[in-house]
Structure 1
Amino acid sequence: MLEEVERWLTRRSWSAADRPLDRLLAAKEATGSTVSVVLPALNEEATVGTIAATIRRELMDGAVPLVDELIVVDSGSTDRTAEVAAAAGAKVVHRDAVLPRVPALPGKGEVLWRSLLATSGDIVCFVDADLRDFSAEFVSGIVGPLLTDPEVQFVKAMYDRPFVAGSGAGAPEMPVGQGGRVTELVARPLLNLHWPLLAGFVQPLGGEYAARRSLLERLPFPVGYGVELGLLVDALHTVGLDALAQVDVGVRKHRHQDGQALGRMAAAIYRTAQVRLARGHLVRPRLTQFRRGERGFLPHTTSVDTEERPPMIEIQEYAERRAA
């Protein structure tokens, strides 16, 4: 098993610099492929505009029209996310306006699932909307293998992920190895123990990845925080390890969650793994956390994300649009 992972790392791990933009554009024109970029967003007015503007300037409107469609799917922002994104050149779609006959559930995975019905590209690239110091290589890097290698179906970004200690301007950044806290404490142990073929992924929970629509439309989507782990595991079982790849895009800076939010994320990821390890006969889990109040520690219990959306190809509206 270790030898197989090491062979995969050699064959399917690249740097964004390995595929220059002119090569990608030539491959795109030769294959006739189209590319959609999706930014799932909830109250990201501080960063979504810069990300969208960079993609438009460097990958759409200039000399390298690599991206055909840039869509921000807003899941109910109460700030100026939609306005800022539109001003930067993105098409803004509200989550609830996509497939309105199916009541929306809260969660990132829900937004990504619905985005398949709101986009048309042969290749769909997901990018989190809270990135700082954004580089267009987050898009071109992970789209590249899909344009140049027909055997590749699913590509994750890998990167250094500095952690800002404290808050405010001037707070020191401390390297935290090759992943975030939930990655190292939950996702990586789960993958190594239960899906060791995926042990070579540096950032298994990263929100930047691209895949062929023909694969994504066949996968179920956990509606919440478990979506990245779920898609990765299901892609392995659907197309095999050699169809998966990763690309080094440098450094990823973003807003960090507090400890309790990370706890809820970890519970959802564990639940997603549990579902894939033992379908059925599972209780609906709840997570109790504690906050200090005036009279000591107070329990706060929330439900863990358990819902999953079916493969999009099974949705009538999507199938009809594809047929048309």
Structure 2
Amino acid sequence: MLEEVERWLSRRSWSAADRQLDRLLAAKRAGGATVSVVLPALNEEATVGTIVATIRRDLMRDAPLVDELVVVDSGSTDRTAAVAREAGAQVVHRDDLLPRLPTVPGKGEVLWRSLLATRGDIVCFVDADLRDFSSTFVSGIVGPLLTDPEVQFVKAMYDRPLGQVGDVGGPAAADAPGPGSGSGSAGQGGRVTELVARPLLNLHWPQLAGFVQPLGGEYAARRSLLERLPFPVGYGVELGLLVDALHTVGLDALAQVDVGVRRHRHQDGQALGRMAAAIYRTAQLRLARGYLVRPRLTQFQRGADGGFEPHTHPVDTEERPPMIEVPEYAERWAA
């Protein structure tokens, strides 16, 4: 298996610099493929506007690589929708997509519904909380899909600095690097990846061991693949899509591209615990369909009386079916 992973890394692991923009534009013209970029957003007014403006300037105005830029707002209480619209994005509210089906909280829910809001042959997902954003996050991962017809699913890979205490969007003190870890802790931002996702993949899906950032929120895929995959509604969506893509199209149809450094808002330890539980559940469900260990997670916080108080949260246990099975989607594309 190690030899298979090494062969895959040599054939399906690239840098964004390997495909210059003029080559991508030529491939896009020759193949006729259209590209949609989706930003799922919840209370991201501080960053979403810059991301939208950068994509519109670099990849829509200066170089026509992206045909459609959609921000799907999942119930923001700040000015996320207004800022995204002012920057030039098409803004759609999650609840307005497939309204007959009540929405549930979760990033995967937003990504699944976004297939109804877009038309591109290639769909590229980008998180809306990125700082110091570069348009190579989009062009880098879209590139292999435009130039290589065998590639169907591409993940971004990058350094994920954890940041320092006091940084904007940085971690809380209890979540900061320990002594000797170095300023910025360049490789320590993916804590759930290293503690949960990577061990799960190496033990149960060793073919996927070569993915540097299996949980990263920046990836692109052909619509023809995405519409055939179930979407976990919550934090497990990235791992679920990666595993299901492997089983649907095979390892050689998957790829990754190095886009540099990813800086974003880090979550506190308890939020990471809930994320880890959802990811474990997503993996467990794929290992033994229909059996859940315990779809709840109890965490503890110190209360006003000085003691520890339990707080129990549900772990995402719902998945949306492949979009191609949804009548509204089939009717839209038939029309």
The two structures have a TM-score, normalised by structure 2, of 0.94
**1:271 equivalent in alignment to 2:281:** yes
Is the deviation greater in 287-296 or in 128-137? 287-296
Q: State the Cα distance separating 1:285 from its structure 2 match.
A: 1.1
Q: State the Cα distance separating 1:297 from its structure 2 match.
A: 0.7
Per-residue CA distance 1:57-111 (angstroms, 9 max, x = gap): 000012x100000000000000000000001000000000000000001000000
**1:15 equivalent in alignment to 2:26:** no
Q: Which runs of 5+ in 1 are unaligned?
A: none
**1:234 equivalent in alignment to 2:244:** yes
Q: Measure, in 2, the Cα distance between the counterparts of 1:43 and 1:170.
A: 13
Q: State the Cα distance separating 1:169 from its structure 2 match.
A: 6.1
The match for 2:206 among 190, 196, 204 is 196
Q: Measure, in 1, the Cα distance between the counterparts of 2:161 and 2:299.
A: 27
Is the deviation greater in 179-188 or in 125-134? 179-188
What SS is found at the alignment partner of 1:60?
A: helix
Residue 199 to residue 178, structure 1, CA distance change in 2 (3 Å): farther
Q: Is the 8 A contact 2:169 2:266 kept in 1?
A: no
Aligned to 1:154: 153
Aligned to 1:164: 163
Q: State the Cα distance separating 1:293 from its structure 2 match.
A: 1.1
Q: Which runs of 5+ in 2 are unaligned?
A: 171-181
Q: Is the 8 A contact 1:229 1:269 kept in 2?
A: yes
Q: Is the 8 A contact 2:201 2:209 kept in 1?
A: yes
Aligned to 1:106: 105
Aligned to 2:34: 34
Aligned to 1:127: 126
Q: Measure, in 2, the Cα distance between the counterparts of 1:223 and 1:80.
A: 24
Q: Is the 8 A contact 1:160 1:252 kept in 2?
A: yes
**1:323 equivalent in alignment to 2:334:** yes
Give the counterpart letter for 2:312 in structure 1. T
Aligned to 2:2: 2
**1:259 equivalent in alignment to 2:264:** no
Q: Measure, in 2, the Cα distance between the counterparts of 1:169 and 1:272.
A: 31
**1:287 equivalent in alignment to 2:297:** yes
Residue 278 to residue 77, structure 1, CA distance change in 2 (3 Å): same
Aligned to 1:205: 215
Q: Measure, in 2, the Cα distance between the counterparts of 1:68 and 1:170.
A: 31
Q: State the Cα distance separating 1:150 from its structure 2 match.
A: 0.0
**1:67 equivalent in alignment to 2:66:** yes
Q: Measure, in 1, the Cα distance between the counterparts of 2:237 and 2:167.
A: 31
Residue 176 to residue 292, structure 1, CA distance change in 2 (3 Å): farther
Aligned to 1:310: 321
Q: State the Cα distance separating 1:167 from its structure 2 match.
A: 1.7
Q: State the Cα distance separating 1:136 from its structure 2 match.
A: 0.2
What SS is found at the alignment partner of 1:124?
A: strand
Residue 65 to residue 287, structure 1, CA distance change in 2 (3 Å): same
Q: Measure, in 1, the Cα distance between the counterparts of 2:201 and 2:186.
A: 19
- Structure 1 runs, 4 residues or longer, greater than 3 Å off: 168-173
Residue 187 to residue 170, structure 1, CA distance change in 2 (3 Å): closer
Q: State the Cα distance separating 1:221 from its structure 2 match.
A: 0.0
Q: State the Cα distance separating 1:322 from its structure 2 match.
A: 1.3
**1:83 equivalent in alignment to 2:82:** yes
Identical counterparts, % of pairs? 85
Q: Measure, in 2, the Cα distance between the counterparts of 1:312 and 1:256.
A: 31
Q: State the Cα distance separating 1:128 from its structure 2 match.
A: 0.1
What SS is found at the alignment partner of 1:301?
A: strand
Q: Is the 8 A contact 1:178 1:203 kept in 2?
A: no
Q: Is the 8 A contact 1:162 1:173 kept in 2?
A: no
Is the deviation greater in 33-42 or in 289-298? 289-298
CA RMSD of aligned residues (A): 1.3
Residue 173 to residue 36, structure 1, CA distance change in 2 (3 Å): farther
Q: Is the 8 A contact 1:104 1:110 kept in 2?
A: yes
Is the deviation greater in 96-105 or in 289-298? 289-298
Q: State the Cα distance separating 1:321 from its structure 2 match.
A: 1.1
Q: Measure, in 1, the Cα distance between the counterparts of 2:68 and 2:167.
A: 35
The two structures have a TM-score, normalised by structure 1, of 0.98
What SS is found at the alignment partner of 2:61?
A: coil
Residue 152 to residue 179, structure 1, CA distance change in 2 (3 Å): farther
Q: Is the 8 A contact 2:162 2:189 kept in 1?
A: no
Q: Measure, in 1, the Cα distance between the counterparts of 2:257 and 2:71.
A: 23
Q: State the Cα distance separating 1:294 from its structure 2 match.
A: 2.4
**1:248 equivalent in alignment to 2:248:** no
